[in-house]
Amino acid sequence: MTVACSFRWLDVRLSGMQFLGMREETRYISAADGHPLALTRLRPPDLVSERLPLENVPGAPPPGAQVFLLIHGFAQNRRTFTTSAFTSGLLGRGAHVFVGELRGHGLSRRPEDGRSNWRLGTLLNFDLPALVEAVATEVADAPLHLVGHSLGGILGYAFLARRPRLRSLITFAAPVLIGGGQDLFRFLSITLGAMLGACPRQVPMDRLLRRVAGPLVSRHPGPLALGLQWLTGLVNPQALDPDAGRAVLSACDPESPALIRELARMAVTRSTVFDDLDVAESLRKSPIPVVAVVGGRDRFAPLSSVACLNEPGHAGPRLVIEMPLCAHVDVMLGASAAQALNRIWPFSVVGGSARGPCLSEVRARDVR
């Protein structure tokens, strides 16, 4: 598949996403079906892009540095990562960091997307391959790591079946078994899947999450807000900066009804299959090192949702990191994410424990 590698560039000075002092540089590539996708390069604040080849950017990390492509989750966009201390930790280690936005999200949104009904297979077969190829083309032979939050991580698991040239796959709050098979989450999936999946066009997740952002991030919630925090498992306000959480939730995008129905079906039936692909099986057969970071208060991706990674028989090394105090959003945004990088980097980059199959589990008390 041919991917265009130079389209319209956006002036980094106009970016409104510099929460951590990062600079953004965005260009557009095309998926195989022609849909434009935004690919954003993140740089430390002291690196001003001159739109030069990678090796000619003044002050840039040396050629051969580690490269990370970050893929956001359900109804989210690049803001998940531009507000994350995990991302600034990567930049501080001299890594090249790119953020890809899936169709209908962030800078990859088009007016006609309001009438679209994409599915998991659409994102897996069109969007993710185009983004990975574009980054791989730009950085040549540098080691490439794929990082996915939530839905982005689920796509990453399935993408392993393509035998990609990745150094590692790193996921945050990304279940293999959605909801971990828990009855409460299955009930929520039946109820919300039927309600939201019935929308004729797109589900207005942007308006829904913007409305509940305040109660979800409140550190002094009333009874209703406390119940909402417990029921959704989206945010633990004690584990992240409330302003950062509110900013991310308020910047979400609409989502596809077909995608919601598909995720709900997988949760209700306890299935790991979509688009005729068994995610658990693709994981088991892949020799690529995989790290899964999950939150103890996350209903969508609890520890039980990645239990298969601790089973014997995997072709490659696996590491599971649990952060008991974190929920779905703050597992990526909270301070613990930056400290989790201290566990992830030796495993995925240095490769000290990645010389052979290595099944291990690190509790958050070791990470915080």
Indicate the SS3 state at residue 46: coil
Q: Is residue 2 part of a domain?
A: no
Percent of the chain with pLDDT over 90: 63
Domain tally for the chain? 1
Per-residue pLDDT reduced to its tens digit, 96-154: 999 999 999 999 988 776 667 899 999 999 999 999 999 999 888 889 999 999 999 99
pLDDT(217) > 90: yes
User: 196 falls in which pLDDT band (50, 70, 90)?
Assistant: confident
What is the CB neighbour count within 10 angstroms for residue 214?
14
CB 362, CB 322: distance < 8 Å = yes
Q: Is residue 5 part of a domain?
A: no
Q: Is residue 45 part of a domain?
A: yes
What is the CB neighbour count within 10 angstroms for residue 240?
26
Q: Is residue 233 part of a domain?
A: yes
Q: Is residue 16 part of a domain?
A: yes
Q: Is residue 349 part of a domain?
A: yes
Residue whose C-alpha is closest to residue 43's, from 103, 105, 85, 98: 98
Which residue is listed with tokens 């050629």? 63
**Residue 8 CB-density burial (10 A; 0-12 exposed, 13-18 middle, 19+ buried):** exposed
Q: Is residue 1 part of a domain?
A: no
CATH of the domain at 135: 3.40.50.1820
pTM for this structure? 0.86
353 lies in which domain range? 12-367
pLDDT(60) > 50: no
Residue 350: its pLDDT value, please?
A: 82
Q: Is residue 178 part of a domain?
A: yes
Residue 139: its pLDDT value, please?
A: 87
Per-residue pLDDT reduced to its tens digit, 222-281: 999 999 999 889 999 999 888 889 999 999 999 999 999 999 999 999 999 999 999 999
pLDDT(45) > 90: no
CA 95 to chain centre: 18
